[in-house]
Amino acid sequence: MRGWSSVFGEILFQRITASHLLNPLPLPPLNDVTCVVTGSTSDIGRETARQLAEAGAHVVMAVRNTKAAQELIHQWQNEWSGKGLPLNIEAMELDLISLDSVARFADAWNARLGPLHVLINNAGIFAMGEEQKSSEDGYEQHMQVNHLAPALLSVLLLPSLIRGSPSRIINVNSVMHSVGFVDPDDMNVVSGRRKYSSVIGYSSSKLAQIMFSSILFKKLPLETGVSVICLSPGVVLTNVARDLPRILQALYAVIPYFIFSPQEGCRSSLFSATDPQIPEYWETLKSDDWPVCPFISQDCRPTNPSEEAHNTETAHRVWEKTLELVGLPLDAVEKLIEGKISNADMDLSNNSRPKKTTKRSTCSPYRSKVLLLNFLIYCTLGTESPRHITCDLLRKRTRMGVRMNV
């Protein structure tokens, strides 16, 4: 019940807790900074990419639909004309529903032998009320798009991130992780021990992302200069309304009084990507052997993820299972850091991947109560808990002056 209170608490109070933030969030000059932003043709990702580019960054829109991205780039260039140098922005194909697509993107980027300073794993899905579906790799679609594919991308891009040191891996997460549970032996939710619903699929994937990020946080030596951060954008208005029944469309009309626009929702992503004190905060937690990776809330302050996210035993098992599912060896990170292997040396095929299946959800999308619940949850896509600095360590860090500039 505590997890659900976090979800609805964020919906009701996020505008109050984030009232100190400017909109848009002011950014420092980002010339000579290269950023990859996944899912950047709509909503939070779109605003994130645009504002980074306008601040001078070289932005790579990693997207499924490169044509849509090119149209956006053309639009942004026209709108920016006369305000400064032309925007340095490009599009590359990346489809997170395919691990082969992830590997191809990483190979193409690493082949440039250039630095990568910021990777923002923004893309994600919540298939509201839909039946259980698998990716072409045989994995539950939420788990693949929201966790497995971003995890693979983060590991494979480590050589470029190390070249760009100090650099950052930014994961856009969700308050829904606080109601999630991850069984490392049943990440596809097919064992029958739990009845599948889109809520379970989504929340489990977000919790898995935090757990994996926390182990990566521990495994990356300070000298690599690569920080790993998860964040909450808050409860953000999306394009879901057009597909909703009329009664829910009416409810959607009053939601702007409580929830963020995409421009407001991208502030924690931009903050995590650009604030100069983020690496210092990351190093402080790492030196004190903090069990979870840094987490930034929707009001751009450090926060603490759920109690289950602190389960280090499960986190280690999630780490190992994730590497197995994406076809990486357990020592892939260490070898990539040491330069002993390249992406081309790793066999990303995995003969143990299950065949693609489709299993009907036990949660009917046509029941009004379920639709209402799923609708409210959908609005929290990419959000995190409003409980700020709840641990003694984070309070100590604030007293020491390790606080973020907003």
- What residue ranges define each of the domains in the chain, with the CATH number in brackets? 2-399 (3.40.50.720)
Non-local CB neighbours of 289 within 8 Å, separated by 6+ positions: none
Joined together, the tokens standing for residue 23 give: 């909109």
The whole-number pLDDT of residue 404 equals 40
> Which among 78, 155, 69 has a CA at the least distance from the CA of 110?
155
The amino acid occupying position 41 is T
Predicted local distance difference test score (pLDDT) of residue 177: 84
Q: Is 139 a catalytic residue?
A: no
φ, ψ of residue 97 in degrees (nearest 5): -75, -5
pTM of the full predicted structure?
Answer: 0.85
Q: What gap in Å lies between CA 134 and CA 147, rounded to an integer?
A: 14
Does an H or E element contain 35, and which?
Answer: strand 34-38
What is the token pair recorded at 38? Answer: 């996944």
Close Cβ partners of 159 (under 8 Å, ≥ 6 residues apart): 110, 336, 339, 342, 343
The residue with tokens 């580019």 is 53
The residue whose two tokens read 């907003």 is 406
Could you say which of 202, 252, 281, 378 is catalytic? 202
Q: Which two tokens stand for residue 199?
A: 């809520």
Contact 181, 204 (CB under 8 A): yes
What is the DSSP-derived secondary structure letter of residue 355?
P
pLDDT per residue as tens, the chain (406 positions):
567 777 777 777 788 888 898 999 999 999 999 999 999 999 999 999 999 999 999 999 999 999 999 999 999 999 999 898 999 999 999 999 999 999 999 999 999 999 999 999 999 988 877 889 999 999 999 999 999 999 999 999 999 999 999 999 999 998 888 888 899 999 999 888 888 888 889 999 999 999 999 999 999 999 999 999 999 988 887 665 455 556 555 666 677 777 888 999 999 999 999 999 999 998 999 888 899 999 999 999 999 898 999 999 999 999 999 999 999 999 999 999 988 666 766 666 554 455 554 444 444 443 444 445 555 555 545 433 333 333 343 434 433 333 343 3
Task: Give the model's pLDDT for residue 109.
Answer: 98
359 forms bridges with which residues in the sheet?
132
